[in-house]
Structure 1
Amino acid sequence: MDADNGGRPGPENPPGPLQKQGERQERQPVNMTKPPSVHSGPSAPPAVAEGDIRASDADRDRVAEILREALAEGRLDPQEHAERIDTVYRAKTMGELEPVIRDLPAAGAGRAQPGPDAYAYGPRAPVPDQNLVAIFSASVRKGRWQAPARINAFALFGSVEIDLTEAVFPQQQVQINVTAVFGSVEIRVPENITLRSSGSGILGSFEIETHDAEDGNAPQILVNGYAVLGSVEARPKRGAWIRDLRDRVWEDHRALRHELREERRERHHQLRHDRQEWQERLRAARRERRDRFR
């Protein structure tokens, strides 16, 4: 070492091994990232896929409603509808429900409005007026029936119920004249018709939920009259629609085919039973003849 520079190697002296090691340590890059903590908690569980979510009763009912609409519109036949309904109520996850309605529109989205020829208006035998009277009693008209052009309802200390949700309209306009004196008259109509009113209440209630149908060819119902210390109420029944009359004919045709199948099945059973009885009588006659000659 050179004594003049305090024992440090001069330019003429090569650096020692300790100095080389110090220089290598100074040139190493410093890791600024924080090392993972040993005491960190468990990682969050992976998110559940949407198709693996458990289906609720409301989800199954929603899918069943879409299938019911598809059956009513003719998109599914009864056999396909029964098979898919069975799949719906056996499904446990949303992924099992989705394929059932993949080829169907959403509820109400694919509901086609009836065309100009959907309603069977035209010349035919007139339907007589319907008179409903309730005096200290009740009078009800509901189910499938032909709505006449004029319906007269009178309630005196009684109640009258008129349900047109399943009725067939031979004509476009139906007029309902109501009189409620210490009584009540309740009218229910489908959603896709026109409902208007020109009545009034005298110390009573005359409530008509007026509605204009989007289809100009839809039936029109006009409620006239008054309520004296009574009540008159008319409104659409939610979920009730007038189907195309041709769909009603198709339903009747299917019901007729079902009845014919049942009749053929019963006739077949009767013929088989008669044949078995005839064969039994024939065997009995043979045994009798055989015993006679013995």
Structure 2
Amino acid sequence: MTSDEHLPELRASDADRERVAGILRDALAEGRLAMDEFEERLEEAYRAKTYGQLEPLTRDLPAAGAGLPAVAPRAAAPAARPASGWSGRIGGEATSRTGIAIMSGFQRKGAWTVPRRFTMFSFWGGGELDLREADFEAAEVEIRCISIMGGANVILPPDMALEVRGIGIMGGFDHSQVGVPHTPGTPRVTLTGFAFWGGVGTSRKKTKAARRAEAEAAREERRLAREQRRLAREERRKRLE
């Protein structure tokens, strides 16, 4: 295997992601992409970590070659992990397997790899797991929460499957996020354990990249609407002349 075949797995920079975002915005303005396609691809672009995840987003657009650094060969791109969906975020070695808070706190957030089984223990303290930007060792993971006179919170992305099996004794597990529609192929997270005079909460939030993509899409939609109004005025003016 040549060294070039590894290039799609090289880490992408913020500048690389912005170049791809620019191509997508141009494609939307030219009518090559529908709004829903633009929003989906833009979100994937800001979440992409490697060249191989960026390349498919512009592969079918005329300016695709400008979206990636010159060292990223398009010929090797088919071997890259899929950029859409969750398949590119499942697999790999776990980076952390436990979190302990004894009269203190802990937090796992950002880019980390969730193991098949993560244990979080809190005693007179609190812990937080943020899964929104995480990778996953397996498609099904268990988070075992033991909370004694303490608390724990698990933050999930909006489209992730969740099951709660924990037991509360003068405490409780939050079931409010169970049954929320999830995207096929997302990891399934199961919360187990027990809470004694404590609680385990769950919430769903969008990533900063997703919120940024939505804001960008809204701005682009407003710009297109202004352009359409301008063209309509021009057309009316021409008819009156």
TM, length-normalised to structure 1: 0.43
For structure 2, the 5+ residue unaligned runs are: 1-13, 45-82, 211-241
Structure-to-structure mapping, 1:233-272, within 5 angstroms? 233-239=201-207
In 2, Cα distance between equivalents of 1:117 and 1:184: 29
1:77 to 14, 17, 20: 20
- Residues 32-62 of structure 1 show CA distances to partners (whole Å, capped at 9, x for unaligned) of xxxxxxxxxxxxxxxxxxxxxxxxxxxxxxx
- Could you say which residue in structure 2 is the equivalent of 1:111? 40
In 1, Cα distance between equivalents of 2:115 and 2:127: 17
In 2, Cα distance between equivalents of 1:180 and 1:140: 15
For structure 1, the 5+ residue unaligned runs are: 1-70, 85-99, 243-294
SS of equivalent to 1:218: coil
Kindly state the Cα deviation for residue 129 of structure 1 after the two structures are TM-superposed. Answer: 6.0
Kindly state the Cα deviation for residue 226 of structure 1 after the two structures are TM-superposed. Answer: 1.6
- In structure 2, the CA distance between the partners of 1:182 and 1:156, relative to structure 1 (3 Å rule), is same
Kindly state the Cα deviation for residue 118 of structure 1 after the two structures are TM-superposed. Answer: 3.2
Does residue 213 (structure 1) correspond to residue 182 (structure 2)? The answer is yes
- The question of whether the paired residues in 2 share the 8 Å contact of 1:172 and 1:218 is answered with yes
Does residue 173 (structure 1) correspond to residue 140 (structure 2)? The answer is yes
- Residues 210-243 of structure 1 show CA distances to partners (whole Å, capped at 9, x for unaligned) of 134231x22110001121111101222235799x
- Could you say which residue in structure 1 is the equivalent of 2:114? 147
In 2, Cα distance between equivalents of 1:134 and 1:141: 12
Structure-to-structure mapping, 1:83-94, within 5 angstroms? none
Does residue 226 (structure 1) correspond to residue 155 (structure 2)? The answer is no
Kindly state the Cα deviation for residue 171 of structure 1 after the two structures are TM-superposed. Answer: 1.3
- The question of whether the paired residues in 2 share the 8 Å contact of 1:165 and 1:240 is answered with no
- The question of whether the paired residues in 2 share the 8 Å contact of 1:148 and 1:174 is answered with yes
- The question of whether the paired residues in 1 share the 8 Å contact of 2:122 and 2:152 is answered with yes
Kindly state the Cα deviation for residue 205 of structure 1 after the two structures are TM-superposed. Answer: 3.0
- In structure 2, the CA distance between the partners of 1:111 and 1:178, relative to structure 1 (3 Å rule), is same
In 1, Cα distance between equivalents of 2:94 and 2:125: 26
In 2, Cα distance between equivalents of 1:134 and 1:117: 31
- Residues 172-229 of structure 1 show CA distances to partners (whole Å, capped at 9, x for unaligned) of 01100001111110101112221111112211131131134231x2211000112111
Structure 1 stretches of 4+ moved >6 Å: 112-117
Structure-to-structure mapping, 1:1-294, within 5 angstroms? 77-79=20-22, 103=31, 104-106=33-35, 111=40, 118-119=87-88, 121=90, 126-127=93-94, 130-208=97-175, 209-210=177-178, 211-215=180-184, 217-239=185-207
Kindly state the Cα deviation for residue 169 of structure 1 after the two structures are TM-superposed. Answer: 1.5
Q: Give the percent of matched residue pairs that are identical in Structure 1 and Structure 2.
A: 23
In 1, Cα distance between equivalents of 2:209 and 2:21: 20
Name the aligned partner's letter for residue 164 of structure 2.
Answer: S
SS of equivalent to 1:151: strand
More strand by share: 2
- Residues 147-169 of structure 1 show CA distances to partners (whole Å, capped at 9, x for unaligned) of 11110001100000111111111
How many residue pairs get matched? 152
- The question of whether the paired residues in 1 share the 8 Å contact of 2:104 and 2:124 is answered with yes
In 2, Cα distance between equivalents of 1:188 and 1:121: 18
Name the aligned partner's letter for residue 150 of structure 1.
Answer: R
- The question of whether the paired residues in 2 share the 8 Å contact of 1:190 and 1:241 is answered with no
TM, length-normalised to structure 2: 0.52
SS of equivalent to 1:152: strand
